[in-house]
Structure 1
């Protein structure tokens, strides 16, 4: 695997260019870097410089982890190095506790956990799900969003507890049926299918990487009754929300964030990441360009999430002209507050005009279901609905097309105009 000189330099800093290095050696090197980052003095100039340096190094490690071949010790070290770099940035913002905790962890002389040790893959020892999932997660650290990795870890820990010491080299279909019987106890269909889907993902990865020869996990999911517990907003509810939103001051960020949620069905994280440059004209139609820009800190759920969604002027009273004036007055990111001060206030603002309480089955994400329902009611083809919501088609042919082609913006815009025409004026 060929890397740029900058990536190679970053790997060398952490001794990740040395495949013969043991975990203990790598750990000591990472610890030295962490201690230096914690104790180094800064002025305003060097503080800004090091913030950029840490950010670039984090990107280099993520790129290497996602494309390179590294042994388990190197992958573990790469994950820890990424945590140290993020904690070093926190320290520059006045939060040193992350680095302090990591240094304490690195100072411990605990051996490599069995789930991450190459020795567990010896042919004379059993392979448990804990082992496989540990290797699976180690390979993905630095390659997926932190929230996604956290969800994967939770699902894998649940499955590991249920499967216990079962040797997956010699497991049978009966073992998988027995697992399903445990999984369904006390859980909703949606949660059951998420766990069983995680099982299949890890088992397929294990087969593809030669850790096991076969798996018997297919066909376990519940086909009926697995719908999401999130309920869509009715057209009347959305109309109430937008009537309230349109009455807010034109410089109120909640007005525009909620409007974009209603008009595009975009995820709350996708809207939060939008920049001034992401609002653009394509063929004379205004769109929001939902894209991945890892250097700019943007992340998306998957490749299908990359899309351009047209904005329909007048839908639910939305003023495109006023919105564009607000965008023009922005610099860089449209929403500049910390993530926590974006998500919760926005959900609160959504519920306020409806008199809803927090913790119910309707939230900002319900707007995605609402626009999907509106498009279904207007008999919108599935391909256009997927182009708007950024969903997978669920089959190889359409998904491959979606990754390489885009429907014309004019076609998507026309479909949305038709859908919003169902809304009472």
Structure 2
């Protein structure tokens, strides 16, 4: 029997799975590109599980659509928007309640009350005709509203009345949204990571929490939840994101006296964590030769050029795949590429911005790439886009794995190899840092002219590649 059901896929010995691509407009919301759920080893088991898994996927996408259409403001968000709406009407918050003797002659307060009455009439149309003749100060004679006031109108009324009900406390969700707006911006990769990390935070805590209520024990619960099925190195990266978001919120929300319970929280003690040197290893020269030969015969032209430039410069993959044609200076006294921040490519940090000389095969590959790019803005149009480096990594990774089975050897191993080449050639560490875009930790690394640094880098590369 052959299964002919949408979103079911056979995966060899791994059995059956539910695989559904996430629409592009929802990927940022869900933090992933596809929804995968194992269905079992047999067709019968897959068919039995399918209805429940499919229903869960439908609900997941439906909820994502709602979130994509605009997240519902939080209590703090309504509060902030209410203040902004009052300000547009000419009312500010930097004043105090008038005393009973001042109310009648306080023109600003009278104008505020009229604005509130206008809001009330939206929900109680006959508000003007109400006369309360009782002297018992109750409001039993007041009509009930036709329907409940909206959160936005309620927040505006409170702002007009100088928020007499008090200022709401910002939550983790408020902190995430603020960080998304002020620090992440349009970077789709970071948006997806932020959503993915905070999905785990909410799962661990059970619900959104006020920032001021978070304790050290909560932070540990989040860490332990993240560690379930994930490497300590990945969890440390996730915890860094949470720390940054909360620190930003404490500062921007003026939460005086608040502390960040995620500070100095590690996924694993440093003495038990996997050493950095064991996460990746350099290629051997024989491995590079084998991979280069395979890429020459089996890969597309742009991938061949990317691999050759990586091998000859020690750059990161994203630094090369995201190059613009304008970043390649072939006619300079020292041909080079400029690694620079631009709209289609982010760089790792400030010190990563640098000029990298082109010599030997890397120079020839750059010349061919510029010619092939023609009038395109990006040197490698297929990969000079959001998520382009990930696509290039996957494409090159297939060729790497066909030649080298060790999982610690990846495309990034070329960068490790360049580091070893420079060391073996006796290149000083300061000059190695100029080539690779590493920080030396010295204030002097920002000094010196670009042309001198380029010449230093050229000499270092020629020694290393010799």
| Bin for the TM-score computed over the shorter chain | 0.5 to 0.7
Alignment equivalent of 1:390, drawn from 418, 428, 437: 437
Are 1:269 and 2:318 matched, yes or no? yes
Deviation per CA, 1:106-139: give whole Å up to 9, x if none.
9979842558554699966554323322322233
Q: Contact conserved, 2:353 with 2:437, CA < 8 A, in 1? A: yes
1:11-410 alignment runs, 5 A limit: 111-113=72-74, 116-118=77-79, 125-143=168-186, 145-164=187-206, 166-173=209-216, 175-177=218-220, 179-213=222-256, 214-215=258-259, 216-221=261-266, 222-224=269-271, 225-227=273-275, 229-245=279-295, 252-281=301-330, 284-294=333-343, 297-313=344-360, 318=361, 320-321=363-364, 324=367, 327-328=370-371, 330-331=373-374, 332=376, 333-337=378-382, 339=388, 342-352=392-402, 354=403, 356=405, 360-378=407-425, 380-393=427-440, 395=441, 397=443, 401=446, 408-410=453-455
Q: 1:277 to 1:204 in 2, by over 3 A?
A: same
The CA distance in 1 between the partners of 2:334 and 2:66, in whole Å, is 53
Structure 1 residue 263: Cα displacement? 1.7
Note if contact 2:282-2:413 (Cα within 8 Å) is conserved in structure 1. yes
Q: Distance in 2 between matches of 1:403 and 1:217?
A: 39
Output one character per residue of 1:203-257: Cα deviation in whole Å (capped at 9) or x when no partner. 2212221343332433223434244544432333123223445x55999333211
- Judged with a 3 Å threshold, the aligned counterparts in structure 2 of structure 1 residues 112 and 409 are, in CA distance, closer, same or farther, namely same
Distance 2:303 2:68 in 1: 46
Tell me if the contact between 1:188 and 1:226 (Cα under 8 Å) persists in the aligned partners.
Answer: no
More helix by share: 1
Contact 2:369/2:380 (CA < 8 Å) preserved in 1? no
Deviation per CA, 1:380-413, whole angstroms, max 9, x where unpaired? Answer: 44443343333455x58478x3899786111112
* Equivalent pairs, count: 312
* Cα distance change, pair 111–142 in 1 and its aligned pair in 2 (3 A): closer
Query: Tell me, what secondary structure is at the counterpart of 2:356?
Result: strand
Question: 1-side partners of 2:183 and 2:247: how far apart?
Answer: 15
- State the TM-score, normalizing by the size of structure 2: 0.54
Report the TM-score when normalising by structure 1. Answer: 0.59
Residue 260 (structure 1) shift: 0.9
CA deviation vs aligned residue, 1:176-224 (integer Å, no higher than 9, x gap): 4554455445432211211221122112212221343332433223434
SS of 1:289 mapped into structure 2: strand
Instruction: State the partner residue of 1:56.
Output: none
Q: 5+ unaligned residues in a row in structure 2: which ranges?
A: 1-24, 30-61, 84-164
Structure number with greater CO (CA < 8 Å, separation at least 6) is 1
**Which moves more between the two structures, 131-140 or 178-187?**
178-187
Q: Aligned partners of 1:320, 1:107: CA distance in 2, in Å?
A: 45
RMSD between aligned residues: 4.4
